[in-house]
Amino acid sequence: MNYRYPDIELPLGSRARYGLVVAAVQCLEGAAIWQFLDATPWAQKLFDAALERSQRPAADPRDDDKAALFRVWYRDGVETAIFRLPAGAGDFCVAVDVEGQQEPLLTMIWRSRHDNRSFDAMILRIDEMYESGQSTYPIERTLLVSGVLDLLLESRIQEHRRIETPQLDVAYHVGERSFHVTANSSTPWGVMPSASDTD
């Protein structure tokens, strides 16, 4: 999970074209992570599914002494569990329960070896903003993500307690156009490498 926490922010931030309002957060570490997982069937199901989707899975995530769990609750009832496994899975995998579907929706956010290309894309979007006078993405998203991460660290400091987040009562509209780098992006560096080039 980084400052954008893309594994959750990207799919949920575009749901119904509106961002979700965060209600509460909690950080768990150590045995509390696995106690939560053992006691929470929906989380165990999605955790297992996400690990199966990973192309760089952990041998046994429970052996990762640096693991952390970030729980985020939203005002509309959505609940998320973001597992940080630094010694394990090396990619961003997402598993989502979708109402009316038996199997979870799975995806993986590819992390190429060309890590700094995200900064190239950011500069491209800044240029577009200067030229058009319009923000190229909802700035509220940065406010919410920064607030979520700050309060997750506060939860960790305060003995991992759940923290209510009325200060994050900020919704935002997501436009039709995505500004995330894809293989089809108009980029200053030309064609993105294929998946086979980034193994």
Q: Which of 27, 100, 19, 109 is nearest to 67 (CA)?
A: 27
Q: Which of 18, 4, 10 is nearest to 178 (CA)?
A: 10
What pLDDT sits at residue 11? 55
CB neighbour class for 18 (10 Å; exposed up to 12, middle 13-18, buried from 19): middle
The pLDDT mean for the chain works out to 77
What pLDDT sits at residue 138? 77
Confidence band, pLDDT 50/70/90 cuts, at residue 111: low
25 vs 64, residue with greater confidence: 25
Backbone phi, then psi, for 67, in 5-degree steps? -65, 150
108 vs 34, residue with greater confidence: 34
Q: What is the pLDDT of residues 148-192, one digit of tens each?
A: 999 999 999 999 999 999 999 887 776 666 555 555 444 444 444
What pLDDT sits at residue 14? 53
Q: What is the pLDDT of residues 34-68, one digit of tens each?
A: 999 999 999 999 999 988 888 776 678 888 888 89
